[in-house]
Chains A and B, each alone.
Chain A
Amino acid sequence: MRLRANDGVGVEVLGDTVYAAPLPDGPIMVLEGIAAVIWREATAQPRGSVAAVVAATTGEDAAFIRAYVDGFIDEMVSRGLLVPE
Chain B
Amino acid sequence: MGDTETAIPLGVRLRLGRAAIQTIAERAGADVLHIKGDAVDPELRPHLHGGTDIDILVRPAHVTALDRALRGYGWSVYTTFANGSPFGHAQTYKHPLWGYVDVHRLFPGIGLDPGAAFTRLWRDRTSMDFAGKDCPVPARTEQATVLALNAARGRSDSLQDLRRVWFDASEQERAGIEAVVADLDARTAFDAAIGQLDRHRGKREYRLWRAVSENGTRLDEWRGRLSAAPTLRKRALILLRAPMVNVEHLGHELGRPPTRPEIVREFFARPLRGLSEVRRRRRTERRR
Interface residues of A (CB under 8 A from B): 5, 8-12, 14, 19, 21, 23-28, 30
Contacts and interface: CB of A to CB of B under 8 A. Distances in A.
A12 B129 CA distance: 10
A71 B186 CA distance: 58
Name B's interface SS.
helix
B254 interface: no
Interface of B: 4-5, 7-9, 11-13, 15-16, 19-21, 23-24, 27, 73-74, 97-98, 130-133
A11 B97 contact: no
A76 to B, nearest CB: 15
Nearest to B9: A14
A19 B7 CA distance: 11
Given A21-B16, A24-B20, A28-B16, A10 B8 contact: no
A24 to B, nearest CB: 4
A10 B13 contact: no
Contact of B132 (A11, A24, A28, A30): A11
Contacts of B133: 10, 23
A12 B12 contact: yes
Contact of A28 (B5, B11, B21, B24): B5
A30 B21 CA distance: 20
